[in-house]
Amino acid sequence: MRRRSGTLRIHVVYLLFVMLLALAGCGPAAPTAVLLTPTQAPAQSPSPSPALSRVPAVSPTPTMTRTPKPTPTRWIYARMTATAQAQQMVPTPTPPAAVKPSTAAGTTARLAGRLIFQLSAGGPIYTIHADGSGLTMLTAGMDPVWSPDGEHFAFTRWDGDRPGVYVMRADGTDERLLFGTRQARLPAWTPDGRRVIFSRQNGGRGPQRICIPGYRCFDIPADEYWRLAVVTAAGDDFRDLPSDFHSFSPVVTPDGKWVIYAGDRGLKRVNLETGEQRALTDELYVASPALAPDGRRLVYMVRLHDHWDLFLLDLETGQRTQLTRSSALAGRAADNVSPAWSPDGRFIVFFSNRDGTWRMYIMAADGSGQRPFLEEALAGLTFTYQNARERMVHWGPETP
């Protein structure tokens, strides 16, 4: 009888513990999903004003720290360095004297358009033509993305006394702060180029301690919220968008009505005007959705046990296709991350560490013909993916 009573007491304590964790908002730990947290997080983040004069005089400089093991919280946090000093530290490499026109996925067609990419979050941002010519360093920051006409690009910075969302001309001139805010990520343009949607740190839950009488206490780390916001390309008419507590990588449908993003559980979409939200998928860990130019296909990252792979979702039929996978003979499955479409929708460029180091790859839209991309032109550069859902590359049209 004593043994049964003791066992029953253990079960009751365990059930109470699970119920308390559920009430506190804790769930299973993400294997290696990474979010961002500021160096000094206030109890409640103030809503920034779009006026540049309202930007804080001093911004905390985050640092990047990879979390080695999962913690008993819903998210694993990291800190990211974002400093413009890298612009002077990393010289622009000299491209080969004669760069052969690039081909992809077994074709001989010359690839068109220009790519904009970062070496690491907060590091140098470069541009290069899809045929491998014209490698040029433009600035420093993170998550660069071309405007629809290719004449400008948007990016974010966390360093210095003017952090926020920036816009710059395609040639690296006329830099301006579009919206000042302490921490912003992953800007995206509407198809008409008149508005920019982005993710910003906005509020959250402070650290908590839960105690079970007669057993022990548990500390739950703070949980910062990342919400979507929108501002005009002129830097005014700012407003927050309805979104999940952790909302990243917004992309806008060709009709300009819906914003698709990676939410707390799966892919979501929110109506830009009405705020209506709908779920697209029900997956625990997804990241970096990229919408094809036709608006029908979506490529995105899915966490599979201990690595990221790329999947294709047909938004009309709901069919889901895995595009990348590692060989069963590989010692460790490779990560395939940060996908982006070619302007004509025929190819997908992405980053992979399948060869032991991060390199840019390309494949056809159906996943065939995967191979390194622009190897000769990018040979002098070192890439770092920091597992923080960052946008490493975006492929846009040629500048008029």
- Sorted by sequence, the CB contacts under 8 Å of residue 143 that are 6+ apart come out as 118, 121, 155, 156, 185, 186, 187, 390, 391
pLDDT tens, 214-232? Answer: 888 989 999 999 999 999 9
**H runs (alpha helix) in the chain:** 2-23, 86-89
HSE-CB at 342 with a 13 A cutoff on CA atoms is 22
pLDDT tens, 144-166? Answer: 999 999 999 999 999 888 999 99
pTM of the model: 0.76
Query: Going edge to edge, which strands form the sheet with 124-129?
Result: 136-140, 124-129, 114-118, 393-396
- Return the higher-pLDDT residue of 56 and 167: 167
| CA distance readout (Å), 84 to 92, 108, 143, 381 | 15, 39, 14, 17
Dist CA 267 CA 253 (whole Å): 14
In this structure, of 42-51, 197-206, 384-393, the range with the lowest mean pLDDT score is: 42-51
Cβ pair 347, 364 in contact under 8 A: yes
347-363 average pLDDT score: 97
Instruction: List, in sequence order, every residue forming a beta bridge with 132; answer none if it has no partner.
Output: none
Compute the mean pLDDT over every residue in the chain, rounded to the nearest whole number.
80
pLDDT tens, 223-269? Answer: 999 999 999 999 989 999 999 999 999 999 999 999 999 999 999 99
- Return the higher-pLDDT residue of 152 and 19: 152
Please say if the pLDDT value at position 81 is more than 60: no
Domain boundaries, the chain: 2-396
- Return the higher-pLDDT residue of 175 and 2: 175
328-353 average pLDDT score: 93
**Which CATH number does the domain 2-396 belong to among 1.10.8.620, 2.60.40.10, 1.10.10.10, 2.120.10.30?**
2.120.10.30
pLDDT tens, 96-117? Answer: 444 455 555 554 457 999 999 9
Query: Going edge to edge, which strands form the sheet with 267-271?
Result: 248-252, 258-262, 267-271, 277-279
